[in-house]
Amino acid sequence: MSLGKASNMLKKLNAITIWERLTNNQDFVIVNALLVLKVVAFSVAVGFGIGHGAMAVSTAAILLILSCWFLFLPSFARTSVLLVFDFLISTALLADILFYRFFHNVISVPVLFEARQVGGVSSSLETLFSGWDLLLFLDFLFLIPYFVRFSFKRKKQPLMLRRALSQVVAILLVCGVTLGLTTKSVAAQFSKNAYIGLNWDDTVLKNMGVVNYHLFDLFSFVKENTAKGSLLADIQQLNAWMSNRVAQDTNKYTGIAQREECNYSSSGSYAKLLNW
């Protein structure tokens, strides 16, 4: 057999292997492909367009990284978890759309701790909601019956942990490198501080998609609060010390204004009144 024929046979074998794995994991491929389309549709719906040319690629990469662990599950369990994953991402996109129409920004982690802002959105849901938003969940009409049939077809096939492990490792390597290159490209092309000021800089949101934005926002929030952990402990100790000092120190002025009406004003109040 010539070297050329052997090479052609190897290419055909590789193509068959790839196609076989895609067919066996079609639930995994379909859900992630639909979620990428939803994220791109969200970006277009809020007026960002498709953003950076690699937005769909970076979105696909992060979704594959988040969902590749489901490949270790048996067929029916994996399909069920993928549907839940689709529902959660779709619900988050719907919440972001409603919030964006109200505040012209998506929900960030610090905002979740501001009950007043979220309450303002919930009180205006009727005016913010559009019938087109239900398209985010339209795919479930097709996915649920299709996946039930698909799961029963693959029910008798044994779970191959070795194959699943190789697929997960490949996905993590390829998607990790892709996401890293895209992150570096966006920072170099648009703003070096894009990943620092997420609350006021929408570079990541526009060019890497809303899923990547939320993950960068969560990472930034955890990093900041972890760094502040020792500082918060020091502040608590200082507050306790000051409380003890206030309780101990008394003089002739102590309690002079107790149960009396006091008027307080500041220069900031006048500045705001005068629109300085």
Ranges of each domain in the chain: 11-229
Q: Are 71 and 28 in contact (CB under 8 A)?
A: yes
Question: What does the alpha-carbon distance between residue 143 and residue 83 come to, in Å, rounded to a whole number?
Answer: 8
**Alpha-carbon distances of 29 from 22, 47, 233, rounded to whole Å:** 7, 28, 47
pTM of the model: 0.72
pLDDT tens, residue order, the chain (276 aa): 454 554 554 444 444 455 456 667 888 999 999 999 999 999 988 888 776 667 899 999 999 999 999 999 888 888 899 999 999 999 999 999 988 887 788 888 877 766 555 555 556 676 778 888 899 999 999 999 888 887 666 666 666 788 889 899 999 999 999 999 998 888 888 777 777 777 777 888 888 999 999 999 888 888 777 765 555 555 555 556 556 655 555 555 556 555 555 555 555 444 444 444
3-state helix, strand, coil in the chain (%, to 5): 75, 0, 25
Measured CA to CA, the distance from residue 94 to residue 16 in angstroms comes to: 39
Identity at 105, one-letter amino acid code: N
Tokens encoding 253: 């002025």
Cα–Cα distance measured from residue 6 to residue 12, given in angstroms and rounded to the nearest whole number: 10
| Nearest to 30, CA basis, from 73, 85, 74, 77 | 85
DSSP 159-173: P-HHHHHHHHHHHHH
Q: Which two tokens stand for residue 166?
A: 């190789």
